[in-house]
Amino acid sequence: MKALKLNDFPNIDAGVQALWNFSGEITRRAYKHDMDEFFRRAHQDAMARPASFYGMALEGKSWEIETSLNRVGGDQGYLATQILKTTAHDGRIRRWQFLLRKNRRPPNLGCWIVEDIGASASDGNFYVD
């Protein structure tokens, strides 16, 4: 989130590049492994939808981690979730549930990879259907 907030430091789109580097196969398949399309759609989404993840991450007012890393299977678990709260410049609040996987092979051995980001409802809460 720090990289996305400072997206163009030290280089143009360094933050979006960092997210791509630590994105899992689900995200990469959604963009057909086309990093340029990922970049284009992230910026397009941020401009068109201020309360979207990219709108909040690139153009939002603030963000904060609300929960500690919740590892599935205890301390040795390789799957985890974490909740992040964002606030848009107009005061709207959204929460995001990150699904993370600890990478068990190179490259990025041992790093947490973002597999999915789930959005809260527009009121900032999660609901079960």
> 62 lies in a domain?
yes
- Number of compact structural domains in the chain: 1
Residue-wise DSSP of 10-39: SSTTHHHHHHHHTB-HHHHHHTTT-HHHHH
Report yes or no on 126 lying in a domain. no
CATH code at 106?
A: 3.10.450
- Contact between 117 and 97 (Cβ < 8 Å): yes
DSSP SS3 for 99:
strand
pTM, full prediction: 0.89
The letter for the amino acid at 3 is A
Q: Quick check: is 124 in a domain? A: no
- Residue 129 placed within a domain: no
CA–CA separation, 32 and 41 (whole Å): 13
Write the single-letter amino acid at 20: W
Asked if residue 43 belongs to a domain, the reply is: yes
8 Å CB contact between 92 and 120: no
Can you give the pLDDT of all 129 residues of the chain as single tens digits?
A: 999 999 999 999 999 999 999 999 999 999 999 999 999 999 999 999 999 999 999 999 999 999 999 999 898 899 999 999 999 989 999 999 999 999 988 888 999 999 999 999 988 899 987
Within a domain: 57 = yes
Distances (CA, A) of 42 to 23, 25, 56, 126: 13, 17, 11, 23
Structural domain includes residue 128: no
pLDDT at 106: 87
* Cβ(19)–Cβ(53) below 8 Å: no
**Residue at 127 is within a domain:** no
- The conformational region for residue 14 under phi > 0 = left, psi -120 to 50 = alpha, else beta, is alpha
Q: What domain range includes position 47?
A: 2-119
- Cβ(36)–Cβ(79) under 8 Å? no
